[in-house]
Structure 1
Amino acid sequence: MSERTSVLTLCLAGPLQSWGASSRFARRTTERAPTKSGVVGLLAAAQGRDRGADLADLAALRFAVRLDQPGTRVRDYQTAHHADTGKSMPVSERFYLSDAVFVAAVEGDPDLIDALHAAVRSPVYLPFLGRRSCPPSRPVDLRIHRGRLWHALEAEPWQASARVQRSRGHRVELEVIADLPAGEGPGDAVRDRPLSFAPHHRRYGLRAVHSRAVTVPNPLGGSPGASRRDFVLPKHDPMGLLED
């Protein structure tokens, strides 16, 4: 990778998220944090890439995700019928993360990072949090950091809800799951490196990850709790682009 790099940070927050890495058939699970393949899919969609397009440049980006508000895992049962016969299909289990907030970061060549930032600010296809049924509750783009991945994750303000921030101290330690650089140990192997999103031939390779923590300030630490009347929803309409 070039010595000159930039980092794009994204806020992934919503009522429900689902980031599957090993889902099969009627049981659709979710990982506890956004996957690299899921975030690369979001970026590719924002740029308007076809599902069969080459992903080599996006897959090569160094990736990390900070767990700002891990949320709660929830389970949903879904039923369906064949359109032609009306026959019931097997009941499926689908798992989601509820009330979670993450900061995802991708590091790479500044020109590519700038192009991705422009794409998420004006996406060709709307972003979603792992599944199309999971729209974001806030704007996805945060900012570009000139430098390296860990510096960006340390500099990015804590994105948890005000309620969660008020319940913690003035500094918080947040877990980060990141790509393990070559030559720095075996790490944990996950099949989450996107090779192709082609509908009939999706392919994923292995990547090595590790976990560590970063400490960030919490300006709301120890402040009095707010009442429900003080809470204001952010002005964000994920479907607003469809009205133009």
Structure 2
Amino acid sequence: MTHVLLIRLAGPLQSWGTASRFAARRDSHSRPSKSAVIGMCAAALGLPRSMGLEMPKQPTETDEPGKVPAFGELARTVFGVRADHPGTPVRDYHTVGAGTYPLRPRDLITDHRRAAAVAASLDTATGDRFGHHTLTGWYGAPKKIAADPHSGVLISGELTRSALITERWYLADATFLVGLQHESDSFLETVRQALEHPRRLLWLGRKSCPPSGTLGLRVVPGDLDTAFRTHRLLPVAHDDTDPTRRPWAWFQVPPTERGATPVQDQPVSFDALRPEHTTRWETRRRITIDADAAQWKDIIL
């Protein structure tokens, strides 16, 4: 028999990237990815990013009770998500670096190139103020750090830096009901408790998007479809939506399932330098919530 851990993901902003680690345009998926949710659960459990994702053996009666689950147990859960409140896409036009910035005395002492660039200004300077000596196009994160051949001090290998312009997308005021299906209810309960008392900071896709309110809701018997049909829409503040509407839901399925589409978010490694993902398959359909579906109680919004 399988069980399902129900997780509430809600916050002012969410951003679920599936295309690339970093690019000039950082899109957000329309819903949480499996990789992001598994990573969040692993962070809540305090598991190191370097831990392998090898698939563990099936649990037996001789296994040590209460043992912290490996990444592999999380990775092999069957994933589903119901979009109770899909949210609104929000675009952030983001710029970093470049422009004109006042030079400091240490900039001239440690970097002979900057000193040469403003030599004329220094020769004609009067008064006791230093801040009016400027250099255009050097402000920003230093790149290609190396020792200066004259002073021996570590400096940037690039004297000028172009502005980094990015377009970042978020989901505003979205609320999702995520399900993780697994054979062991005790394993899922361990994860649920960790989400409510995490050992590391959690966020909704990016570090600028903290979750709000309750995360780990409950562990219920059955499969994902049953769990989504037998629970009402998650409540939100100032909710004026129809409680009987049919939300979209996505279910992880075998690749042979009719209508299955590929998604590149099955985690293989969370290594900070070389994260790796592979393909899983999913289907999408609307959910008709049962008339006697369970109500949500004691949820912190």
Same fold at TM > 0.5: yes
Would you identify which runs of 4 or more consecutive aligned residues in structure 1 move more than 6 Å? Answer: none
Distance 1:152 1:95 in 2: 30
Change (3 A) 1:77 1:154: same
- CA distance in 2: counterparts of 1:161 and 1:218, whole angstroms: 20
- 1:40 & 1:182 partners in 2: Cα distance? 21
Give the corresponding residue for 1:36: 34
Structure with the bigger RCO (C-alpha within 8 Å, sep 6+) is 2
The 5 A counterparts of 1:1-244 are 4-23=1-20, 24-54=22-52, 55-81=71-97, 82-84=140-142, 87-110=161-184, 111-164=186-239, 166-168=240-242, 171-181=244-254, 183-185=256-258, 187-216=260-289
Q: Equivalent residue of 2:289, what SS? A: strand
Q: CA deviation at 1:162?
A: 4.9
How far 1:119 sits from its partner (Å)? 1.0
Shift in Å, 1:138: 1.6
Cα RMSD, aligned residues only? 2.1
Q: For residues 235 and 11 of structure 1, do their structure 2 counterparts lie closer, same or farther at Cα, with a shift above 3 Å needed?
A: closer
Which whole-Å CA distance do the structure 1 matches of 2:267 and 2:38 have between them?
A: 8
Could you list the per-position Cα deviations for residues 74-117 of structure 1 after superposition, in whole angstroms to 9, with x for gaps in the alignment?
Answer: 11022223333583442111100011110000000223212211
Separation of aligned partners in 2, 1:140 and 1:25: 30
Instruction: Note if contact 1:186-1:208 (Cα within 8 Å) is conserved in structure 2.
Output: no
Q: Percent identity?
A: 35
Normalised TM-score (structure 1): 0.82
Gaps of 5+ in 1: 220-233, 237-244
CA contact (8 A) 1:103 1:159 kept: yes
Give the Cα–Cα distance (whole angstroms) in 1 for the partners of residues 267 and 190 of structure 2: 20
The SS at the match of 2:238 is helix
Alpha-carbon deviations, 1:195-215, whole Å to 9, x = none? Answer: 111011110000111001212
Task: Note if contact 1:11-1:102 (Cα within 8 Å) is conserved in structure 2.
Answer: yes
TM-score scaled by structure 2? 0.67
**In 1, Cα distance between equivalents of 2:4 and 2:26:** 31
Contact 1:172 1:218 in 2 (8 A): no
Aligned position for 1:231: none
Distance, in Å, in 2 between the alignment partners of 1:150 and 1:205 is 24
The Cα of 1:185 is off from its aligned counterpart by 2.8
**Equivalent residue letter for 1:103:** L
CA-CA distance at 1:167 after TM superposition: 3.5
Counterparts of 2:171 and 2:300, CA distance in 1: 23
Structure 2 runs not aligned, ≥5 long? 53-70, 98-139, 143-155, 293-298
On the 8 A contact 1:180/1:209 being kept in 2, the answer is yes
User: Is contact 2:214–2:300 with CA below 8 Å preserved after alignment?
Assistant: no
1:229 corresponds in structure 2 to: none
Task: After superposition, give the CA deviation of every residue in 1:8-40 in whole Å (9 maximum; x if it has no partner).
Answer: 001111110000000342211110001101101
d(CA) in 1 for partners of 2:272, 2:2: 32
> Contact conserved, 2:244 with 2:289, CA < 8 A, in 1?
yes
Q: Which has the larger radius of gyration?
A: 2
Change (3 A) 1:235 1:157: closer
Q: Is the 8 A contact 1:7 1:149 kept in 2?
A: yes
